Amino acid sequence: MAKINFGGVIEDVVTREEFTLSKAREVLKDETIAIIGYGVQGPAQSQNMRDNGFKVIIGQSQEFKADWDKAVADGWVPGQTLFSIEEAAKKATIIQYLVSDAAQRAVWPILKPCLKEGDALYFSHGFSITYKEQTGVIPPANVDVILVAPKGSGMSVRRNFLAGSGINSSFAVFQDYTGRALDRTLALGIAIGSGYLFPTTFEKEVFSDLTGERGVLMGALAGIMDAQYNTLRSHGHTPSEAFNETVEELTQSLIRLVDEKGMDWMYPNCTATAQRGALDWRPRFAEAVLPVFQELYARVSDGRECKRVLESTGGTDYKSLLEKELKELRESEIWATGIQVRKLRPAHS
């Protein structure tokens, strides 16, 4: 592993240069990899591995017709590379368990009997193992239990791969039965196209992931946007002006500067007025939201957020209730305005 200085803290990471694609192929040359679930991460990870030359099959229930049809459209052939969950798991030596967290609990009684001695059970989220008392997902002792968690959506994992880059991933070994669990894990991380790999544990992965999704990545970001947009609107600014100042300038300009060289580089590339205001108000926002993040982390670590996920997503009316919430978000003024603003963006020449 390479030792990298991250802001004064030395961490071990695994790069493509030290664990090459050819090495990954050698480690996995006798393995058959089954992707269980063709929903969010399944399509990206399976296609990336197929493109990289690994032996991959899909396990997907035909009951979920949209996912089955998507797998067929992506080139997986029923009876050859596309099977039921049970059949794919029995054929494989590495089982990538990529159905949703709630579905993992439901599918586990079907999948567990298919695991053979020496198989590897792979996750891209620490949820089911960390909260095993609530999920009931307790692997047998005679298999490897490993994790590679891309730090991005399945769509981004695929897009970045096709662009020649990659999404960074964390990795962990929970159970090493064969003595090869670490090599299998790193090889799979390279196989799915990770930019680089950094070590974690199942518990740390799920704690950071749930905090991040509810916080900066999705929940906090959407909430802060709502607050600023509504403040501007309440003071007479038009929807277009409020949206451009809240969302468009962030996504089309500033965040790209942050992506390129960091927040400290973005600040000097804005006006002196903007820079001064940002430096003054940054600590006030940090102070205001810190208690919310502390409460959020506590709820994640003590299992309350797990309980909320399993109870809400496990209901028979979950999809209809979810669509109602998403419809409300979609039809809110800020995001209805966003549809029109995006249409007005100049077309690429």
Query: DSSP 3-state assignment of 196?
Result: strand
Annotated active-site residue in 125, 235, 237, 348: 125
| Contact indicator for 166, 150 with CB cutoff of 8 Å | no
In the block, tokens 């579905």 appear at 103
Cα–chain-centroid distance for residue 254?
A: 23
> What are the tokens at 154?
């399945």
CB of 144 closer than 8 Å to CB of 92: no
Nearest Cα to Cα of residue 146 among 115, 190, 193, 184: 184
Length of the chain: 349
Residue found by looking up tokens 């797998």 in the block = 71
- Start-to-end CA distance of the chain, whole Å, equals 44
Interatomic CA distance for residues 102 and 310, integer angstroms: 6
154-167 b/e with 16+ CB inside 10 Å = b? beebbebbeeeebb
Measured between alpha carbons, how far is residue 326 from residues 154, 228, 247, 332 in Å? 20, 20, 19, 10
Strands 169-175, 144-150: parallel, antiparallel or unpaired by DSSP? antiparallel
Note if 235 is an active site residue. Answer: no
If we measure between CA atoms, which residue out of 109, 111, 101 comes closest to residue 60? 111
Write out the DSSP string of 7-59: TTEEEEEEETTTS-HHHHHHHTTT--EEEE--SSHHHHHHHHHHHTT--EEEE
Task: Measure the CA–CA gap between 240 and 232, rounded to whole angstroms.
Answer: 11
Rounded CA separation 160/133 (Å) = 36
Judged by DSSP in three states, 116 sits in: coil
Active site residues: 125
